[in-house]
Structure 1
Amino acid sequence: MKRWDADVAVIGLGAWGAMALWQLAARGVDVIGFEQHRPGNAFGSSFGGSRMFRITCLEHPGLVPLARRSLELWRRLEDESGDRLFLPGGGLLIGPEHGTIVGGTLRAAREHGIDVHALTGAQLRERFPRQAAVPEHHRAVWEPSAGILRPEASIRAATGLATAAGARVFTDSRVRAVEPVGDGVEVRTAERVHRVRRVVVTVGSWLPTLIEGLPLQTLRMPLTWFRPVVDDSGFDLEHFPVFMRETDEGPVLWGNGREGGHQVKLGLEGYGPGARPIGPDDDADRSVRSEDWSDVARLLPGLLPGLAEVPDRVAVSFFSRTPDGQFAVGALDDASRVIVGGGCNAHGFKHASGIGELLAELATGAAPRLSLDFLAPGRFGARTAPAAAPLAALDAR
């Protein structure tokens, strides 16, 4: 009888978990994955057809190297899967010259040598006519390396490559408990108990149901798609690229143009009134109401004239956030064989491939390629585990 059912279990195959599964399987690790739905589902935070990618990370200077590494891995995932997952085409960061968006983008570009181009309001309006309602005192930054990622297809591609490399995946299988036992971990589902040497927990908004002590909060975030009033190409992605736009009043509108059968996707960086704390299993709060889109709709006549007043589609996603807005990625001291990845703070998808690599490194005891100590869960007061020994150095099955 085998002592272990696998070397590593990955619980939750959303963006981060699917990438960790792929990275572990590619390293030849005996890995199993658990997903309570199916990979690429619409019940968590990684769905909706598109996610913004940019290297000029405003949230923390340490995220720029992670974004650069993530782009390398996104391209590798495309090459190995044969799927088109990253649509380059550049991105716009718009707002007051010294505001959070434009000022932060320019600082990140200077500090990290990122290729960007500053545009005056007049230049922006000439090059991107649908952004015509930009005040004279606002500026824009064009980042050629930006673009959009396909969330559902990326998750399915990573999971597919992992299974092709030997990973075993249990779908429609919710993990009820993660219990460190001796020198391993028991993963409990309704069907059975799996014994593994280490576990990676990446269940997004459901992380507090399995791991105690992390100050994570689950929020619902509405996503909206608006149809142009006139059916021309002005709002197509080619002419209306992914953007973030800060207003003088405070709200930051983000979105991207029509592509892949989707209408113009828009949302508020401050999440709007529809984004409120809930429990991750509160399925009733997935129902859509007018407050989920009304704040976005009110901004459109003044910011983006030419879009309908009522959205073509509204969906509700869940995500988790931390008190400081940074991710929580690392091993836990009270269960040194338990590694968590959570707190995406609604800006974690662009980094998913790089986070997946980091989780795989932590799970195998390899030296991390990047120094990402600022993401350690220990910053919230919990002690983090010492560096794990390489898997090959542990006792055999």
Structure 2
Amino acid sequence: MSRWDADVAVVGLGAWGAAALWQLAARGVDVVGFERYHRPGHALGSSYGGSRMFRVTCLEHPGLVPLARRSLELWRGLESEAGRQLLFPAGGLLIGPEQGLVVGGTLRAARTHGIEVRSMRPAELRERFPRHTGVPSHHRAVWEPSAGLLRAEDSLRAAADLARRAGARVFTDSRVHAVEPVPGGVELQTSERVTRVRRVVITVGSWLRSLVDGLPLTTLRMPLTWFRPAAPHGDAFDLEHFPVFMRETDEGPVLWGNGREGGHDVKLGLEGYGPGARTLDADDDADRAVRPEDWTDIARMLPGLLPGLTELPAKIAVSLFTRTPDGQFVVGALDDDSRIVVGGGCNAHGFKHATGVGEALADLATGRAPRVDLRFLSPDRFGRTAATTPVRMEGAL
């Protein structure tokens, strides 16, 4: 009888964990997944909200463009295997001051990596996308044809379902209380069982801060809002006419969103997460109560920027995410120990990379070098040391 219950375990089946589970199972790896809640794609993590933006022009870091390109290939592969569309390539708009964060960063990424984009002056923007109004003459819009919209919960459930189909065992409503290194592997403890595996991938999103000591992660609540078009503007706000966008204002806030699709209303949010964002503990202080500050700032912006939407949101929800000091992900072996691989710190821009990150995590968990160089995302950049940061996760996922 083997001393190991599986070769690899994936703890936490959000977007990154489900993708890693899919990749591992597809390779024939004996893999087991643990999900704290009743199913992958629940409403309490970072992957909730119906949709996510996809962009290749990653203004957040030059190293993310190769990851986005690889992720796009894998999204198409996931769609093909799942037999349904998950990514809608309706294009995307990046709007703001020409040297600003959004437009400036997008153009730099496009030049550096040879990405097809088109720059537009405000007059052309108004002609092609008339719902965007009030764009100052010194602003520009960049059209990225490769951008689009991902269906969030559908995507991660598709990955989890394919993983099961390929042989992965998945335990839901299963909270791992401790992860203990043992000779040759790790031991996972839940209230129902002890599972011994050679390697573990820890992808628990907003709970990573309480699970792995020494990583400088902050958990925040992020309000999400959906607005309905007022008559007679309904069709003008459909995704094909009102694609995914980021819009930087002279006052500082960056408004983002996408048009109606799949029965969902127009989704809007604020980069920087608005006044409704605040730090919390995902276990002890997961405040999802809706307050006026979660939507009033966006509502005030709409008449001048996006006229034709109702004054009050049709729906408001709260998502959680983790932030790192440098705004980049955490992906890699923990303290250079190949038995323990972590993926976290999405910084609210990680979903589009889920398939690529999942592949990289699967590579690391099977002793391979990732196809895309992600060394700049290593947990070691924060100066963790094994001597001062034991991996013991009492009361964890």
TM-score surpassing 0.5?
yes
Superposition pairs of residues 38-53 of structure 1, within 5 angstroms: 38-53=39-54
1:21 alignment partner in structure 2: 21
2:394 alignment partner in structure 1: none
Tell me if the contact between 2:338 and 2:364 (Cα under 8 Å) persists in the aligned partners. no
1:394 alignment partner in structure 2: none
2:366 alignment partner in structure 1: 364
Please give the per-residue CA displacement for 1:95-117, whole angstroms capped at 9, x wherever unaligned.
01111111111110000000000
Tell me if the contact between 2:133 and 2:304 (Cα under 8 Å) persists in the aligned partners. no
| Comparing 293-302 and 23-32, the one that deviates more | 293-302
Q: Secondary structure at the match of 1:130?
A: coil
Please give the per-residue CA displacement for 1:63-87, whole angstroms capped at 9, x wherever unaligned.
0000000000000000011021000
1:292 alignment partner in structure 2: 294
Distance 2:253 2:317 in 1: 20
- 1:284 Cα deviation from its structure 2 partner: 5.6
Distance 2:250 2:335 in 1: 45
1:305 alignment partner in structure 2: 307
Distance 1:217 1:176 in 2: 21
For the pair 1:125 / 2:131, whether they are aligned, the reply is: no
Q: State percent identity of aligned pairs.
A: 76
- 1:299 Cα deviation from its structure 2 partner: 1.1
Tell me if the contact between 2:40 and 2:156 (Cα under 8 Å) persists in the aligned partners. yes
- 1:163 Cα deviation from its structure 2 partner: 0.6
Superposition pairs of residues 111-150 of structure 1, within 5 angstroms: 111-150=112-151
Q: Secondary structure at the match of 2:131?
A: helix
2:109 alignment partner in structure 1: 108
2:246 alignment partner in structure 1: 244
For the pair 1:233 / 2:244, whether they are aligned, the reply is: no
1:197/1:108 CA distance change after superposition, 3 Å = same
The one-letter code of the counterpart of 1:181 is: V
Distance 1:123 1:335 in 2: 54
Please give the per-residue CA displacement for 1:270-298, whole angstroms capped at 9, x wherever unaligned.
10111100000246611111111111111
Q: Secondary structure at the match of 2:159?
A: helix
For the pair 1:62 / 2:63, whether they are aligned, the reply is: yes
1:34 alignment partner in structure 2: 34
1:317 alignment partner in structure 2: 319
The one-letter code of the counterpart of 2:194 is: V
1:329 alignment partner in structure 2: 331
Pairing partner for 2:276 from 261, 268, 274: 274
Q: Secondary structure at the match of 1:142?
A: strand
Gaps of 5+ in 1: 385-397
1:284/1:348 CA distance change after superposition, 3 Å = closer
1:169 alignment partner in structure 2: 170
1:284/1:367 CA distance change after superposition, 3 Å = closer
Please give the per-residue CA displacement for 1:122-159, whole angstroms capped at 9, x wherever unaligned.
00000000012211221100000000001101111101
1:297/1:350 CA distance change after superposition, 3 Å = same
Tell me if the contact between 1:180 and 1:335 (Cα under 8 Å) persists in the aligned partners. no
2:2 alignment partner in structure 1: 2
Distance 2:235 2:66 in 1: 35
- 1:305 Cα deviation from its structure 2 partner: 1.2
Distance 1:110 1:117 in 2: 11
Distance 1:334 1:258 in 2: 45
Tell me if the contact between 2:338 and 2:365 (Cα under 8 Å) persists in the aligned partners. no
Distance 2:134 2:222 in 1: 26
Tell me if the contact between 1:176 and 1:210 (Cα under 8 Å) persists in the aligned partners. no
Distance 2:80 2:285 in 1: 37
1:182 alignment partner in structure 2: 183
1:224 alignment partner in structure 2: 225
Distance 1:70 1:105 in 2: 18
Q: Secondary structure at the match of 2:287?
A: helix
- 1:334 Cα deviation from its structure 2 partner: 7.3
Distance 1:336 1:354 in 2: 19
For the pair 1:376 / 2:378, whether they are aligned, the reply is: yes
Tell me if the contact between 1:332 and 1:383 (Cα under 8 Å) persists in the aligned partners. no
1:154 alignment partner in structure 2: 155
Q: In the comparison of the two structures, how many residue pairs are matched?
A: 385
Q: Secondary structure at the match of 1:286?
A: coil
The one-letter code of the counterpart of 1:144 is: P
Q: Secondary structure at the match of 1:131?
A: coil
- 1:227 Cα deviation from its structure 2 partner: 1.0
2:392 alignment partner in structure 1: none
- 1:375 Cα deviation from its structure 2 partner: 0.2
Pairing partner for 2:355 from 346, 353, 356: 353
- 1:383 Cα deviation from its structure 2 partner: 4.9
Distance 1:128 1:215 in 2: 41
Q: Secondary structure at the match of 2:268?
A: strand
- 1:17 Cα deviation from its structure 2 partner: 0.1
- 1:335 Cα deviation from its structure 2 partner: 4.7
1:284/1:75 CA distance change after superposition, 3 Å = closer
Gaps of 5+ in 2: 387-397
Distance 2:135 2:307 in 1: 11
Q: Secondary structure at the match of 1:36?
A: coil
| Comparing 220-229 and 330-339, the one that deviates more | 330-339
The one-letter code of the counterpart of 1:103 is: G
Tell me if the contact between 2:4 and 2:197 (Cα under 8 Å) persists in the aligned partners. yes
2:389 alignment partner in structure 1: none
Provide the alpha-carbon RMSD of the alignment.
Answer: 1.3
| Comparing 167-176 and 275-284, the one that deviates more | 275-284
